[in-house]
């Protein structure tokens, strides 16, 4: 039997290219994200830039950001009653450091990033989005990982590579680590934000791993565009890193 006639082969090739073309078109039309960035910040450093009073000594959530899109659906309003059951964990893990009793930070993150993340069925409700962010936040445990490698908030300085190694050895992926730069700009940098990246199946992957679509997307600049809430830049290898402890109550 000759199943593979040239005609059949042509048909298969034609059909699969048609699929590729429509699929590709659909993909761009939706501008579906391919990567999620789970961003943690160190409250003490954040507060030194934003003039809040830090009273938290663990890494807290800043956000869960898809690599494409911002403010994807302005008519999808944040409604905290839809995440009522998550609120105790939200307050602990994703606190608004500027206004501890308000829901403004979550509302802001939902509108800017959540409505875009919601293009995936797995995140297409406020409850799914916020509970997934909390789940991923608890799955990785930066405080424990850093402590395990003797990196603790203290007056001693660390090398950036020590912090990178701790995370790479624990999770086998490369994080993106951001610092604040004080007035002593060329002497020390202050550990501020750590990003870990996930694929659409919520599996950890290198943050810097290039995706084919990255060239057509401005999305990866999310952290840069979040400059209103954080003025961090990527930490430098040739400078010591300060991991600031909370000031003792006087
Ligand atoms: C930090 O302070 C805020 C109000 O100033 C309070 O709501 C919050 O519970 C405190 N957090 C911790 C961990 O003590
Ligand atoms: C935007 O959100 C509203 C409210 O949830 C929903 O009815 C509408 O279908 C959404 N629009 C798009 C384009 O997803
Ligand atoms: C918020 O969500 C609750 C629970 O689903 C619902 O009963 C309420 O109508 C919503 N509020 C608004 C303003 O949409």
Decide: 40 and 194 in contact? Cβ < 8 Å.
yes
Backbone CA torsion sign across 112, 117, 118, 124? negative
Environment class of 41 (CB within 10 Å of its CB; exposed 0-12, middle 13-18, buried 19+)? buried
CA distance 17 to 35: 25
- The CATH number assigned to the domain holding 66 equals 3.90.730.10
Whether the predicted pLDDT of 123 surpasses 60: yes
Counting DSSP H helices and E strands in the chain, the numbers are 9, 8
pLDDT at 177 over 70: yes
Has residue 229 got a pLDDT over 80? no
Centre of ligand 3 to C-alpha 64, Å, is 23
Residue 100 domain-assigned (yes or no): yes
Q: Domain count for the chain, please give it.
A: 1
Of 97, 100, 249, the residue with max ligand 1 atoms within 8 A of its CB, to mutate for a pocket test, comes to 100
**Does residue 27 lie in a domain region?**
no
Nearest protein Cα to ligand 2, atom 12: 73
> Under 8 Å CB-to-CB from 94, ≥6 apart: which residues?
60, 61, 105, 106, 130, 133, 134, 137
182 CB-near residues (< 8 Å, 6+ apart): 188, 190
Question: How far is residue 232 CA from its own chain's centroid?
Answer: 14
Backbone angles phi, psi at 169, to 5 degrees: -70, -30
What CA–CA distance (Å, rounded) separates 207 from 225?
A: 17
Mutating to test ligand 3, I would choose from 81, 85, 130 the residue with most ligand atoms within 8 A of its C-beta, which is 81
168: in domain? yes
Whether 128 maps to a domain, the answer reads yes
Q: Among all residues, which ones are annotated catalytic?
A: 62, 109, 113
Ligand 2 shell residues, CB under 6 Å: 73, 75-76
Ligand nearest to the CA of 54: 1
C-beta 93 within 6 A of ligand 1: no
Q: Could you read off the pLDDT of 67-112 as tens digits, one per residue?
A: 999 999 999 999 999 999 999 999 999 999 999 999 999 999 999 9
Q: Are the C-beta atoms of 192 and 178 separated by less than 8 Å?
A: yes
What is the whole-number distance in angstroms between the Cα of residue 77 and the centre of ligand 2? 10
In a domain, 193, yes or no: yes
pLDDT at residue 50 in the model: 87
Please choose, from the candidates 133, 130, 31, 131, the residue with its C-alpha nearest in 3D space to the C-alpha of residue 72.
31
Residue 160 lies in a domain: yes
Q: Give the C-alpha separation, 232 to 132, whole Å.
A: 25
Q: Please state the rounded mean pLDDT for residues 185-202.
A: 92
Task: Tell me if 188 sits within 8 A of 182, measured CB to CB.
Answer: yes
* CA-CA-CA-CA torsion sign (54, 97, 41, 48): negative
Instruction: Give residue 31's pLDDT band: very low, low, confident or very high (50, 70, 90).
Output: confident
Q: Which of 54, 55, 87 to mutate for ligand 1's pocket (most ligand atoms within 8 Å of CB)? A: 55
Which pLDDT value is given to residue 1? Answer: 42
The Å distance, Cα 91 to ligand 1 centre, comes to 9
Residue ranges making up the domain that contains 72: 32-242
204 in any annotated domain: yes
pLDDT at 52 exceeding the cut of 60: yes
Mean pLDDT, the chain, whole residue set: 84
Taking the centre of ligand 2 as the mean of its atom positions, its distance from the CA of residue 12, in whole angstroms, is 37
pLDDT band at 223 (very low <50, low <70, confident <90, very high): very low
> What's the rounded Cα separation, in Å, for the pair 130 and 137?
11
């Amino acid at each position: 039997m000759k199943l593979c006639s040239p005609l059949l082969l042509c048909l298969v090739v034609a059909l699969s290219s048609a699929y590729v073309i429509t699929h590709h078109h659909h993909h761009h039309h939706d501008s579906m994200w391919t990567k999620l960035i789970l961003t943690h910040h160190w409250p003490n450093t954040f507060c030194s830039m934003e003039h809040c009073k830090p009273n938290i000594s663990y890494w807290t959530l800043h956000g869960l950001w898809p690599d494409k899109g911002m403010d994807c659906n302005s008519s999808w309003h944040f409604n905290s009653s839809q995440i009522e059951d998550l609120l105790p964990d939200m307050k602990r893990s994703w606190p608004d450091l500027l206004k501890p009793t308000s829901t403004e930070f979550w509302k802001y993150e939902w509108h800017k990033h959540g409505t875009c993340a919601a293009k995936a069925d797995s995140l297409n409700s406020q409850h799914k989005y916020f509970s997934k962010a909390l789940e991923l936040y608890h799955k990785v445990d930066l405080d424990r990982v850093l402590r395990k490698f003797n990196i603790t908030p203290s007056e001693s300085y660390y090398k950036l590579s020590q912090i990178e190694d701790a995370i790479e050895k624990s999770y086998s992926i490369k994080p993106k680590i951001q610092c604040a730069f004080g007035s002593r700009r060329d002497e020390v940098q202050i550990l501020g934000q750590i990003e870990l990246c996930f694929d659409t199946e919520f599996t950890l992957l290198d943050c810097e791993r290039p995706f084919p679509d990255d060239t057509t997307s401005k999305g990866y600049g999310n952290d840069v565009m979040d400059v209103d809430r954080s003025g961090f830049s990527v930490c430098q290898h040739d400078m010591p890193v300060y991991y600031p402890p909370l000031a003792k109550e006087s």
